[in-house]
Amino acid sequence: MKMRSVAICRVLSRALQRQISTATVCSRSRILHPVLMARQMSSTQRLNNELIDALKNEITAEKQLEKENLRGEQAPRISGFEITTDGANVHLAKLHGKEK
């Protein structure tokens, strides 16, 4: 799992570095180097596709882990807390006397 996270961080880092360098080069040489801009745009699309693939793989891995860990059951209960969920958001509320 940690290796997948490292791979995603690397892909995101490359994407950000290329986006920053593309923006810098494009703002300086918008008219002077149209071929350079086209090449950077095509590499940006390739990088976007890499990022999409990496995120799809991460989502698939997370769903598989959820199936393995929960085995189709509901999330575990935590004594003393009221748990409410909304999609990926989990809200824990602790009751202490009449206070929540």
Q: Does some domain include residue 77?
A: no
Residue 93, Cβ density class (10 Å: 0-12 exposed, 13-18 middle, ≥19 buried): exposed
Q: What CA–CA distance (Å, rounded) separates 23 from 40?
A: 10
Residue corresponding to tokens 């570095």 = 17
pLDDT tens across 55-70, in order? 999 999 888 887 777 6
* Domains contained in the chain, number: 1
Q: Does some domain include residue 90?
A: no
Q: Does some domain include residue 49?
A: yes
Q: Does some domain include residue 53?
A: yes
Q: Does some domain include residue 36?
A: yes
Indicate whether this model's pTM tops 0.95.
Answer: no
Q: Does some domain include residue 94?
A: no
Q: Say what angle helices 34-70 and 2-28 make with each other, to 10 degrees.
A: 160
96 or 37, greater pLDDT: 96
Q: Quote the domain boundaries for residue 40.
A: 2-72
Q: Does some domain include residue 98?
A: no
Q: Does some domain include residue 11?
A: yes
pLDDT tens across 29-46, in order? 455 555 555 555 566 778
